Structures are given as C-alpha cells and as structure tokens.
Amino acid sequence: MAKIALGVASSISIYKACEILRGFQKEGHDVQVIETRNAAALIPPALFDALSGRRTIVELFDDRQPWSVAHVALAKEIALFVVAPATANILAKFACGLADDFLSTFYLAVRTPVLIAPAMNEAMWIHPQTQDNVRRLRERGVEFVEPAGGYLACGDEGQGRLADPQRIIARGLDLLCRGTGLRGKKVLVTAGPTREAMDPVRYLSNRSSGKMGFEVAREALRRGADVVLIAGPVAIAPPSGLEVVPVTSAAEMKEAVDKHFSGADVTVMAAAVADFMFRAPAVRKVKKETLPAGLEIVRTPDILKELGGRKRPGQILVGFAAETNAVEAAARKKLREKNLDLIVANDVSREGTGFEADVNQAVLIDRRGKSRKTDILSKRALAAVIWDAVEGLREKKK
Ligand code: PMT
C-alpha cells in the first residue's frame, strides 16, 4: 500500500476527483486530499474527509494537522502526487515555482513522480502561456494525462474536459509501480559534452545536448532513486528534485565523478566526454597568425575505464558507446575493456537520432553478451528501457 497525495483545484469537473480518490483506494492505497481554497468552495473538505478518512488539507497553516511543517512532512511520506483536476492557474503556479498556498508549496517539496490531469476551457488550454507552462513542467519530469475533447461546462465544444478518471487512475498506478524499483538506491548519471579549452575564447567539444543523460537521470528519479547528475555545459534545464553538479572539462567531470562514485549503487556514463584536450591551454587568445604552433593535443582521462577498474562487487556500471560504424562490435569491445555491466550503443551517424535529437535508437548489451536492439524511441522511453535492463541486472546480482 502506498500513500498518494491528490491535489484538487477548482474546475467544474471537481466531482470526478471523488471517483479518482475511490479508484486509488480500491487498489489498496491511502489518499490524502489537498484542495485549493477555490476548490473547497465548490466541494467542502468534509466530503473528501469522509471519503478519504483523513482531514483534507486546504490552508498552509492549519493547526488541525499533526505535522510541524506539513508540506515537507507529507512530501516525504507519499509515493505519488496526482493533481486532478488541475486549472490553468495551478499549472502556472507550478511552472513558476509560486508558493502562496498549501498545494503550490507542497509541489515544490515533492520528490516523487507528479501526475497532472488538467481541465479547463479549450481557449485557456491551447493558450500559448498555458502550453508553455505544460512544456516547462514536462521538461522537469511532470507527467500529464491530457484533457479530452467534447462538450465543456461553459457551453463550448473542444479539448478541455478532464480525462476519463479511469485513465488517470491507470496512469497513476503505472507511475506508482515504476516509482519504487530504485527506492533507496543512489544513482550517479553523467550527461552532456565536455569542453576542453584551447585559449580563453576557443574550445574543443562535441554535439551532445545532454538530453539523453537528463532523461536517464529523470527516469531514475521517477523510480525512486536519489540521483546525482553531473552535467557538462548544456542549454536545457535539468530535472528538478536531484543534485546537479555542473562541470565544464573532462578533468572537472572526472573530479566530480570520483567524489560521488563510491557511494553510488548504479553509475550511468551518458556524457560525451571529449577524447582530446590541449595539453597547455593558452592564457591569452591565440592570434590567427600563430596557429597551430604550440598547441599540443593529448588524450583526456578515460573516466569510465578507471571506474571499471575499481568498482566494488554489487555496484553496477553502465556506459554508452557513440559509434558511426560496426556499432555492435565496437560496443562489445568497450563493454569488455571498461569492465561494464551494460553498454548502450547508439549509431551517431544517422540523421534525426543520437546527438541533439529527441529520439534515439540503441543496442543494449549486457556483460554476458546478451543484446537487445530497440526501435527508434523518445529519449524518455529509451531511458525507461535502460533502467528496466539495469533493474534486471540487479535482480540477477542478488
Ligand atoms: O546528449 P544528447 O544530444 O542527447 O546525445 C546523446 C549521446 C549521443 C551523447 C549519448 O547517447 C551517448 O552516446 N553518450 C556517450 C558518448 C561517448 O562519449 O561515447 P564514447 O563511445 O566516445 O565513449 C564510451 C563511454 O566512455 C561513454 O560512456 C563515455 O561517457 C565514456 N568516456 C569516454 C571518453 C572519456 N574520456 N571518458 C569516458 O568516461
């Protein structure tokens, strides 16, 4: 049995929150309802109190609740946070980090998976501001069950109706299952490129956007892990709810990895670490006329190989292989030479997958040599496949 927080905002579809509450209870879960003040004006907390068997929370400072700092204490107890129905207002508050009532303050304290089912007038739903808020929340790992089309309470027809409660419950249960596999485990993920300075204005790097590694970190977080994400210089926002260590060069990445590796149960090196660096970057900008004299290029430390040489029994080490030809053979060689438990090989010569893209295709090979080729998947879905494989390996190691 898990504890679920059910956030309820003031939409006409609020009555469907009762069915959602009951649905989770039928599956054996304990539900704590949190209403906004406007929601409590539509359905008084007493109804949810009776259905849930718990006092519904509305106010930030409520001396009827047993916790000292209620939003933080409750956030630590729950395994899933569902908001259904969610209004445009609550989406905007969550997206901006505004914390002016219990529900919005609670959102910031939550570290478990978050599932939002919006309901509103179609014009409000498709408004660029609302869509921007949804995109920002998605980027941070929030899951959505999108509104359905049909007749709306305001008399309009269009997309805006709260999705079928059974779909919301099913999605919530799905997240709940995924949300426990790595509970209590420490996960270390690297992402993005490294930059090797040539002088104060130029550097050597590669096309990694950080998307793949960020999705790997996000999925570990969804499954309940404590995640440290070591990220090279990227333009995308990291998922919230994890520790981010920003680095620039391979040497900095190695230092950060070394600091966190011994405490990690699973380490996934998705970063595209530059293979070369300048032995002695120039202190001043190198003049065009003097190039390339005096710029000696040397190998960067192979971080993953060093980890493979000193991992302890039970620790799982996952590497990536970015290849352009004979992908599987090259990946098997890296798996062996770097003493990995799993390697995720991707062909980075193909247009539209791999570097920078939102999708990727990979061959996963484990240390026994068993391989599995995926379809072209979103990087989020591929991250789930990778963690399914890691969880399978952990089972075998027990
Ligand atoms: O960031 P995106 O735009 O989403 O793109 C994703 C990706 C293509 C970068 C990702 O899927 C990927 O393939 N990451 C690994 C890139 C890479 O450096 O591959 P490699 O075959 O050169 O290295 C093999 C492994 O050794 C990798 O796990 C790498 O992190 C590690 N390595 C490499 C060099 C080095 N000096 N130290 C290392 O630890």
Delimiting residues of CATH 3.40.50.10300 domain(s) in the chain: 186-397
Delimiting residues of CATH 3.40.50.1950 domain(s) in the chain: 3-178
Spacing, Cα 393 to ligand 1 middle (Å): 21
Q: How far is the C-alpha of 196 from the C-alpha of 199, rounded, in Å?
A: 9
In this structure, which CATH number among 3.20.20.330, 3.30.460.10, 3.40.50.1950, 2.40.400.10 belongs to the domain 3-178?
3.40.50.1950
Instruction: Please give the torsion angle defined by the CA atoms of residues 178, 179, 184 and 186, in that order, rounded to the nearest 10 degrees.
Output: 70
pLDDT tens figures, 1-11: 889 999 999 99
Spacing, Cα 311 to ligand 1 middle (Å): 19
Residue 235 has pLDDT above 90, yes or no: yes
pLDDT tens figures, 12-70: 999 999 999 999 999 889 999 999 999 999 999 999 999 999 999 999 887 666 655 67
Give whole-number Cα distances, 160 to 122, 149, 297, in Å: 5, 6, 58
Site to probe by mutation for ligand 1, drawn from 307, 320, 327, 333 as the one with most ligand atoms within 8 Å of Cβ, is 320
Stated pTM of the model: 0.70
- pLDDT at site 69: 65
Residue 397 has pLDDT above 70, yes or no: no
- pLDDT at site 395: 74
For residue 368, give the 3-state DSSP assignment: coil
Please say whether the beta carbons of 342 and 370 come within 8 A: no
Give whole-number Cα distances, 279 to 9, 198, 286, 294, in Å: 58, 9, 15, 10
Mean per-residue pLDDT, 281-290: 88
Q: Which residues line ligand 1 (CB under 6 A)?
A: 192, 208-213, 250, 269-273, 275, 300, 302-304, 319-322, 334, 346, 348, 354-356
- pLDDT at site 25: 93
Whole-number mean pLDDT of the chain? 92
Please say whether the beta carbons of 185 and 265 come within 8 A: yes
For residue 75, give the 3-state DSSP assignment: helix
Please say whether the beta carbons of 24 and 52 come within 8 A: no
Q: In terms of C-beta density within 10 A (0-12 exposed, 13-18 middle, 19 or more buried), how is residue 386 classed? A: buried
Q: Among 81-90, 145-154, 171-180, 186-195, which is the least confidently predicted range? A: 171-180
pLDDT tens figures, 207-223: 999 999 999 998 998 88
Please check whether the domain covering 186-397 is classified as CATH 3.40.50.10300: yes
Please say whether the beta carbons of 137 and 97 come within 8 A: no
